[in-house]
Each structure stands twice: as structure tokens, then as C-alpha cells.
């Protein structure tokens, strides 16, 4: 016998009051993984990874996947659980992550999520907006135009039909302009509805069965850039070039259109030298980190800490919130 709607609402509200998702955000190479493990050990809970590149089992070195000791130190989910040959969207991740959290909250009312992919963090915390159904013929026309004219067609069309959203992408995540699937979707909505894509954003009220506690890590720019440069050198020493070489025949796949892989594909195509490619990885990773900071600094109710802050101080902040 189903519960009355009023009682169900009360139960959902009670559940939300008692479930907490500690969410660790910040730029790449700032120390999010190390902090997440310490917190998971303290609160005796699991870790949900929302790094959109660490999902893929073929991309281990270039995505800074936690090492074996780190993976053994706490239970991780969504680490190298997909193949680059699979179509896996942020919407797919949202559904799978929420299902996993539902099960984890049955065991422990505190769980941890960590990652530098702002869109994926937002998907779990806030969900996605709803868009009208689009006539399939619109998609077919867009695909035809894309095949003939390439990404430029998608970029120019979005700029014309939704200049506001175009400017948002340019400021916060310009790499999106190089993602055909996402660009097609933006254009499809604009053409199929006759309205800007941005007009549908922020209209849907999303309810979650947990309260987020958001912990942000930051550092002075010079320190952050130095950590990034060191990480790239470590990746190269650990065999990043060999990893990229093994993926060369799949270089057209969307999952591989990312920093650390594109630059070395150019080297393998003899477009650049290896030292130049390495410096490009460092430069593009630094640019990526700036975009991450811009994205995450918009996050409401985030508690920001210097990356060297003792973990005890962060734990005390969390405990005050849940007490």
C-alpha cells in the first residue's frame, strides 16, 4: 500500500535533513584527492568521483587517476568504470551517481564527492534544466550542416541565435566550443524551439535527498601553476607519451579531445616537437585551472580553504554544519 503523499513529503524532508554530501571542489592539482581520502577515513564513508576524464579506463596517467594506495585507502566510485568507446554524458552520470548515493546513504548519512568537473558537480547537486522535445528532422539537418561545414557552423549559429550563452561559454569554458556533441545540442534547442538555449536554464526546481557541504581548496596563482607544472612532468615520467601513443587510432573520440592528449597527438602527427608539446600541456592546463576557478567561485555557500589548511580545521567546519 503506497504511503499518503503528505507522509511521503515529510519522510523525504526528514531524510534530507539527515543526509550530507561533502563536496570537494577546486582547480586541478590542488590536493582534492588527498583531502577526500582523509575525510572519508575520518567519517568512515565512500567517495564519489566526478572527474569527467577519470571515468575512462584507457586514460589513467593523463587524468591523474588516484594511485593504488589512494584507491585502497578509501572506497571510490566512478573511477575508470567506462571505456572511451562508450557514449557517456553528464546526464548519464547524474542518474548513476544519484542512484549510487541513494544506496550509500542507506549505510551512512555522510558521503563525499570530489572532482574538478564543474558541470558534473552541478549535475549532482542541482540537476539539469528541462528542455522541450525537438523534432528529429532538426537534428538531421544540423548533422548534415556539421558534416559539410564543421565546428565553425555550430559556433557561428550559436553566436547568432544565443549570443548571451555564447559569451558565457567563452568566459567560463571555451573548450566547450570544440565539443561537437554539446554544440549540436545547443544549436538544436535554439533552432527546434525558436528560443535561445539560455532561456531554458534555471527554470526547474530540483530536490535532492541530501544537504551539500561544499569545501573549496585554493592557492596563490604562482603556487597553483607550479603544482601543475610539476604534475605534468610527473605524468611524462610515468609514461604519458606511451599512453597517448596507444590511443592514437582513437584520437578522434570525444573523450580524447582534452588537455594532455591533444598536444601529444600533435607531436605524434609531427606538427610539433616533444618539448613544445609538453610546454603546451602545462600552458593549457594552467588555462583550464583558471576556468575551473571561475566556475567554482560562483558556487553558493562554499567554504574556501587554503590548500595547506590542516584537515582538522576543515573537519571542524563540517562538524559544525552537521551538528
Question: In this model, does residue 6 exceed pLDDT 80?
Answer: no
Question: What is the CATH code of the structural domain delimited by 136-200?
Answer: 1.10.20
pLDDT given for residue 240 in this prediction: 98
Mean pLDDT (whole number) for 52-71: 94
Greater model confidence, 201 or 289: 289
pLDDT winner (highest mean) among 81-95, 110-124, 225-239: 225-239
pLDDT given for residue 256 in this prediction: 93
pLDDT tens string 258-288: 999 999 999 999 999 999 999 999 999 999 9
Please state which of the ranges 72-86, 133-147, 276-290 shows the lowest mean pLDDT: 133-147
Binding residues for substrate: 28-33
Please indicate whether the domains covering 5-128+204-322 and 136-200 agree at the CATH topology level: no
pLDDT given for residue 245 in this prediction: 98
Mean pLDDT (whole number) for 187-194: 94
Please state which of the ranges 7-11, 77-81, 84-88, 167-171 shows the lowest mean pLDDT: 7-11
Mean pLDDT (whole number) for 95-108: 96
Domain residue extents for the chain: 5-128+204-322, 136-200
pLDDT given for residue 323 in this prediction: 80
Binding residues for ATP: 26-33
Place of cell 596507444: 246
pLDDT given for residue 4 in this prediction: 55
pTM of the model: 0.80
pLDDT given for residue 228 in this prediction: 97
We find that the CATH architecture of domain 5-128+204-322 is 3-Layer(aba) Sandwich (3.40)
How many other C-beta atoms lie within 10 A of the C-beta of residue 79?
A: 19
Mean pLDDT (whole number) for 64-70: 94
pLDDT given for residue 289 in this prediction: 94
- Band (pLDDT 50/70/90 cuts) for residue 8 is very low
Amino acid at each position: 500500500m503506497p504511503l499518503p503523499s503528505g507522509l511521503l513529503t515529510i519522510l523525504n524532508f526528514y531524510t534530507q535533513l539527515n543526509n550530507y554530501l561533502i563536496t570537494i571542489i577546486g582547480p586541478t592539482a590542488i590536493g582534492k584527492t588527498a583531502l577526500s581520502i582523509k575525510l572519508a577515513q575520518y567519517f568512515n564513508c565512500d567517495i564519489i568521483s566526478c572527474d569527467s576524464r577519470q571515468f575512462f579506463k584507457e586514460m589513467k596517467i593523463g587524468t591523474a587517476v588516484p594511485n593504488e594506495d589512494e584507491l585502497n585507502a578509501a572506497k571510490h566510485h566512478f573511477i575508470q568504470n567506462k571505456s572511451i568507446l562508450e557514449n557517456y554524458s553528464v546526464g548519464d552520470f547524474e542518474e548513476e551517481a544519484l542512484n549510487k548515493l541513494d544506496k550509500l546513504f542507506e549505510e551512512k548519512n555522510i558521503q563525499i564527492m570530489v572532482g574538478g568537473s564543474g558541470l558534473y558537480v552541478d549535475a549532482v547537486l542541482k540537476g539539469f534544466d528541462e528542455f522541450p522535445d525537438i523534432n528529429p528532422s532538426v537534428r538531421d539537418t544540423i548533422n548534415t550542416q556539421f558534416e559539410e561545414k564543421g565546428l565553425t557552423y555550430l559556433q557561428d549559429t550559436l553566436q547568432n541565435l544565443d549570443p548571451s550563452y555564447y559569451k558565457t561559454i567563452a568566459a567560463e569554458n571555451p573548450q566547450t566550443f570544440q565539443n561537437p556533441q554539446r554544440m549540436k545540442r545547443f544549436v538544436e534547442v535554439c533552432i527546434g524551439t525558436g528560443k535561445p538555449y539560455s532561456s531554458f536554464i534555471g527554470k526547474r526546481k530540483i530536490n535532492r535527498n541530501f544537504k551539500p557541504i561544499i569545501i573549496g581548496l585554493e592557492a596563490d596563482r604562482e603556487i597553483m601553476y607550479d603544482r601543475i607544472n610539476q604534475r605534468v612532468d610527473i605524468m611524462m615520467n610515468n609514461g604519458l607519451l606511451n599512453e597517448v601513443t596507444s590511443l592514437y587510432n582513437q584520437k578522434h573520440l570525444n573523450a580524447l579531445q582534452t588537455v594532455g592528449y591533444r598536444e601529444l597527438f600533435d607531436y605524434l602527427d609531427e606538427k610539433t616537437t616533444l618539448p613544445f608539446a609538453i610546454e603546451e600541456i602545462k600552458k593549457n592546463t594552467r588555462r583550464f585551472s583558471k576556468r575551473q576557478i571561475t566556475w567554482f567561485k560562483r558556487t553558493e555557500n562554499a567554504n574556501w580553504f587554503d590548500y595547506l589548511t590542516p584537515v582538522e580545521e576543515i573537519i571542524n567546519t563540517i562538524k559544525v554544519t552537521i551538528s
